[in-house]
Amino acid sequence: SFELVVTPLPPQTENNSLYSEGTDGIRVLTTRYRKHPVKEDTREEVRKIEAQLKTLREDGQKMENDLAVLEQNLGVLTKLEGFTQANLQHETEKGTLNSEAVMALAKYVMETRAEKMDAQVKLRQTLADNKEQIQFAERQQQELAANSDKTEHEAIIVVDKKTPAPGKVRLNYLVNSASWRPQYKFRAGKDTEPIQLEYLAAITQQTGENWDNVDLTLSTAEPLLNSAPPELKMLDVAVVARAPGSGQGGANLPAQQMAAQPMASTYANPNPVEFEKQALTLRGEAQKAYTGNNVKGGGQLINDAAALEQAKDLLATKEEELKNKPMSTSGGTEGPSVTYHLGTKLAVPSRPDEQVIEVAKIEMKPEYCYKAVPVLTAHVYRLANLVNKSEYVLLPGEATMYIGSDFVGRTTLPLVAIGEQFTAGFGVDPQLQVQRQMIDKSRTTQGDNQVLRYEYRILVSSYKPEPVKMQVWDRLPHAETEAVSVSLVKAAPEVSTDGMYLREARPNNLLRWDLNVEPAMNGEKALAVNYEFKIELGRQMMFSNFLNFAPSMAPGY
């Protein structure tokens, strides 16, 4: 038997992951990991930078010494000039002036000073350039030093060879600091054209070893986790006993009593008119969240803003509504273990930058529709219902959406299994518009109960040359307690009869209409959706808070 030494291994090698296997005639007895300190960094690129820095610093020291010598020589010339002037004055007074000697000395001083000054300027310029090169090399060294390693990593393989024929030993090991994440690009064209999906992988590897001309396989057991509209959440309502002398709903609830109630955030403002200002602030924060690609946070903030706006609708008196009419419009798991083998050989250098490579190109047949959620946003979004008929599982990841070559937004793609249907958003369509407004509200009493009625109208306008299908969503308050009853009185047209919607969303008081919008439906001919609902609660009860709650529902409902 004899030992084989494999060196160097990458600095990020997992020392307990090494194993070896041999071909016929070679038996691997043991494989062990060994490391020992070395004077210089084991990585070639680091050694090159260190050698470059050493040369630059030595050159800089030499130039600084030469510059000091030049400055001393210029000082000697200055002294010689003073000596010449004093000697000239002395000889003139005595009448023994030797003009030729004086002129020769003066010429020497001037020519030498010009020569030395020119050399001094050039040397200073060269020294400044040298310092810039040193600073740049030091930045490179600092970046590479993030994973600095002055330790030699080796594998020791003990083999037993029975035959004289040559053979091979294969060493296997795992390394850290290598990862990848999925990215997607969706490109949509005309309604009849398939959608092109580019499945991409952003690879980062800082193992300390460059991967040159390698067969790459991507695998994961735990994949990572606003072109689509925000998801509408259930609006949960709670009530408390009315304080003596307070008005309708909860408009005049004393601040002390409001402060004593459990609140989700700042919904405890005793003046419902202030809800609008708070809602505007939240919508601004939601926009910042979307800009930072925080889709979940932005969706929560925009639902919170809409809850405040609906709280104002429910709590403000008619006088307050009329006074503030311009402000009263609403609208504003672990994944599977998958493996992808890439067909071409690649070079992946060890560096902190991501390298994006293509995993696959997939065509999908779309079924387009439009979705509007006017209580959350006045925009109408174009959606495509797609089925993953490829041989690839689509892992959760960021997706950028394009119509032709135009970028329309970003979204987060969920886990999509092979054969599973999913929905992708392709941004806002300005040719479709939606408005939501309160038409009427009233308060009556029936025995010991008060009945609050609200009537809303949603107007859908189309400026498109062809008819389109559209989903319009809204919501009613929802209360878990029997002390409050919320019911839809009437709706024209009727809400959707889709089975999934009726099972998943309707019990949470989320409303959905499936509409066919014709091209001429705009202006006075805009498609109107009218609905009325009522809230019944005891005379001595009042609203205490408005909370957003995300019930467990199937995606898209």
Residue 177's pLDDT is what? 84
What pLDDT, in 10s, does the model give residues 271-316?
A: 666 788 888 888 888 877 776 667 888 889 989 999 988 888 888 7
More confident residue, 229 or 40: 229
The rounded mean pLDDT for the chain is: 82
What pLDDT, in 10s, does the model give residues 336-390?
A: 678 888 888 888 888 888 899 999 999 999 999 999 999 999 999 999 999 999 9
Residue 536's pLDDT is what? 92
Which tokens sit at 6?
A: 């494999």
Instruction: Please say if the pLDDT value at position 232 is more than 70.
Output: yes
What's the pLDDT band for 150 if we cut at 50, 70, 90?
confident
Weakest mean pLDDT among 30-34, 36-40, 64-68, 508-512? 36-40
Rounded-to-integer distance, Cα 45 and Cα 54, Å: 14
Residue 257's pLDDT is what? 43
- % of the chain at pLDDT higher than 90: 36
What's the pLDDT band for 329 if we cut at 50, 70, 90?
very low
Task: Give the residue extent of every domain in the chain.
Answer: 2-41+149-172, 44-147
Helix orientation angle between 274-291 and 295-315, rounded to the nearest 10 degrees: 170
Residue 261's pLDDT is what? 41
Weakest mean pLDDT among 28-42, 73-87, 428-442? 73-87
Residue in the block written with tokens 């109107």: 528
Rounded-to-integer distance, Cα 484 and Cα 238, Å: 8
Instruction: Give the residue from 409, 330, 368, 366 showing the smallest Cα distance to 517.
Output: 368
Rounded-to-integer distance, Cα 496 and Cα 526, Å: 20
Helix orientation angle between 44-94 and 99-144, rounded to the nearest 10 degrees: 160
Weakest mean pLDDT among 101-110, 252-261, 459-468? 252-261
More confident residue, 90 or 162: 162
Residue 438's pLDDT is what? 94
CA distance to 12, 95, 507, per residue, from 146 (Å): 12, 77, 55
What's the pLDDT band for 149 if we cut at 50, 70, 90?
low
Residue 334's pLDDT is what? 45
Determine whether 480 is exposed, middle or buried from the number of CB atoms within 10 Å of its CB (0-12, 13-18, 19+): exposed
Cα dihedral 272, 278, 283, 289 in deg (nearest 10): -140
Predicted structure pTM score:
0.60
Instruction: Please say if the pLDDT value at position 214 is more than 50.
Output: yes
Weakest mean pLDDT among 168-182, 232-246, 319-333? 319-333
Reported CATH class of domain 44-147: mainly alpha
What's the pLDDT band for 198 if we cut at 50, 70, 90?
very high
Instruction: Please say if the pLDDT value at position 222 is more than 60.
Output: no
Q: Residue 433 carries which side chain, given as an amino acid letter? A: Q
What's the pLDDT band for 80 if we cut at 50, 70, 90?
confident
3-state SS, 400-450, equals EEEECCEEEEEEEECCECCCCEEEEEEEECCCEEEEEEEEEEEEEEECCEE
Instruction: Give the residue from 401, 373, 367 showing the smallest Cα distance to 385.
Output: 367
Q: Residue 275 carries which side chain, given as an amino acid letter? A: F
What pLDDT, in 10s, does the model give residues 383-412?
A: 999 999 999 999 999 999 999 889 998 999
Which tokens sit at 178?
A: 């290598």
